Chain A
């Protein structure tokens, strides 16, 4: 194998990852810059983090974003998992083509279109723009991503496990909660995390569907970025990156543990 992994392959990977990571690393490094000029190094300092915590507008936006993220990711995970079950289990029902179209299209739909159309819907039904409308919009967008993640796990799922449980007398509901759900749980967890991150990240759809009092963090960052690059925004971005990175690391460790446990269980079961 090593013989075929040529110098060209290694170089392209190293350069590729440098391209992917260098901008983020630079952003983090310059958030600790003493100087107000973002691109000139003036010594190490954490003063921008301190001033960040005194910025009430930014703190309020963070709180709004966190609540929208948690609520929308949770609802989207339930709906997305149901959509994934529908796509993999019910191969024949009226309107299936339309359904799969509605699940896949939002993945690539330009955000300006989704944002505008959702806003016009909210206006048409007379819903005031604010916290609720952003949350509903984020549920709609992210449930499709959850559906795709969970679906890819369901496709490789061994259905004979379910049949065995039913043969042994488990009800469909019990089979679902005791067999199916634990097996697809890692996909559901990563679906939730993806939904949460997408919600945390979204600027365009939030700008369209949000109203006064529900300014999210990306909207706040965006309005400040337009005025110029400042170390304070670098600091806010660094915290956001750190939160997500810690979440991803915890999730992957938990995932690995569960996987190891499952293999041990399987081996124990085979020994009888």
Chain B
């Protein structure tokens, strides 16, 4: 700190700055806002408008594979003429085919069940970490974050070798004579649950830990002194106080899990139905860009409420930190 005072002693005071410098500072301030703002507008918001537009188009055998393209090659009038060809046919198509409806519902149910399972697995871990001696807490935190740094794809891939019929889990259970026949886990919904709980566990543990760590444990002591049994002390004090962490953790797991692709594709096999996989197949296998756009728009609409809840929670956490 001392060296800064020394280097700045020679410069004149801020009030004596020339007008030009202050103008430049104002410009820099604006630039700080404008650059990331424009970037996100262009690469995050505008793409959604395009997705919506293409979801109203028709499939065509061309490149890009949809019509109308809506560009200015036919002049301004051609651009506006294209609008008349837009319609909601793709959405009608989605409601008529029961497959899509089933995929949406299944995805929501799978995501909800996995979120609850992740909470059940993650809560004891976060609680144990928060109660650990202060000296080892940073190490434990590091150990939770570390898998986060290893590839998602690799972590899902690792489970294939464990879960498959001749895999490590079945070998272990067979050799211990717990089962006589190998369990079929890979390519079922069970494998998807395991995959989601495993991959998203750090997202659940971290917010839970940060709200449990802040908790004042003398409250529990007080409750105990007043004759409150431990379980009811947990439900009356600990759990309500950790609620912000529970909500943040559940949203962090639930929202991406609904649209998950890698886990249902690698662990769920071809029998399982999830909307992320459906979208992927429409796009890559059927090359139907308009229908996959319509699938994406509906998925986004379904997730609007949870995403807004997540943002509110983020904003509130930010206010509390200040």
Contacts and interface: CB of A to CB of B under 8 A. Distances in A.
A26 B158 contact: yes
Contacts of B229: none
Contacts of A229: 157, 160-161, 164
Contacts of B25: 171-173
Interface in A46-90: 79-80, 82-83, 85-87, 89-90
B296 A113 contact: yes
Interface stretch (B80-88, B98-106, B146-154, B237-245): B146-154
B128 A13 contact: yes
Main secondary structure of the interface of A (DSSP, over half): helix
Contacts of A155: 318, 321-322
Given A171-B14, A173-B25, A120 B33 contact: no
A204 B142 contact: no
A244 B146 CA distance: 10
B296 A12 contact: no
Given A5-B132, A9-B131, A26-B168, 14 more contacts: A8-B128, A20-B147, A20-B201, A99-B36, A112-B261, A113-B51, A116-B51, A116-B283, A117-B296, A143-B40, A152-B321, A178-B4, A222-B153, A265-B1
B47 A110 contact: no
A203 interface: yes
B167 A39 contact: yes
B11 A9 contact: no
Interface in A145-181: 147, 151-152, 155-156, 165-174, 178-179
A211 to B, nearest CB: 12
B259 A113 contact: yes
Task: For chain A, give the interface size range.
Answer: 35 or more
A136 B42 CA distance: 11
A23 B261 contact: no
B124 A16 contact: yes
Given A110-B276, A229-B160, A201 B132 contact: no
Interface string A227-257: 0010001000100110011001000100000
Task: For chain B, give the interface size range.
Answer: 35 or more
B193 interface: no
Contacts of B40: 83, 99, 102-103, 140, 143
Contact of A90 (B33, B131, B283): B33
B121 A19 contact: yes
Given A16-B124, A86-B33, A112-B276, A117 B217 contact: no
Interface of A: 1-2, 4-6, 8-10, 12-13, 16-17, 19-21, 23-24, 26-27, 30, 38-39, 79-80, 82-83, 85-87, 89-90, 93, 95, 99-113, 116-118, 120-121, 123-124, 136-137, 139-140, 143, 147, 151-152, 155-156, 165-174, 178-179, 193, 197, 200-201, 203-204, 207-208, 218, 221-222, 225-226, 229, 233, 237, 240-241, 244-245, 248, 252, 265-266, 268-269, 272
B166 interface: yes
Interface stretch (B89-97, B173-181, B307-315): B307-315
Contacts of A79: 35-36, 39
Contacts of B54: 120
Contacts of A113: 51, 259, 296, 299-300
A244 to B, nearest CB: 5
A173 B28 contact: yes
Given A39-B166, A110-B276, A120 B289 contact: yes
Contacts of A178: 4, 7
A204 B160 contact: no
B287 to A, nearest CB: 13
A95 B37 contact: yes
B112 interface: no
Contacts of A100: 311, 314-315
A221 B152 CA distance: 12
Contacts of A168: 4-5, 8-9
A21 B310 contact: no
Most chain-B CB neighbours within 10 Å: which of A82, A87, A240, A266? A82
Interface in B266-288: 266, 276, 279-280, 283-284
A118 B47 contact: yes
A152 to B, nearest CB: 8
A23 B169 CA distance: 11
Task: Please name the 10 residue pairs, one residue from A and one from B, whose CB atoms are nearest each other, closest first.
Answer: A110-B259, A117-B47, A12-B124, A9-B128, A16-B125, A269-B1, A23-B158, A83-B36, A108-B255, A102-B40
B155 A24 contact: yes
Given A86-B36, A117-B50, A244 B133 contact: no
B186 to A, nearest CB: 11
Contacts of A121: 43, 46-47, 50
Given A10-B128, A102-B44, A110 B258 contact: yes
B252 A171 contact: no
A124 B50 contact: yes
B198 interface: yes
A120 B310 contact: no
Contacts of B1: 265-266, 269
B159 A2 contact: no
B33 A93 contact: yes
Contacts of B48: 117
Given A118-B43, A167-B14, A4 B217 contact: yes
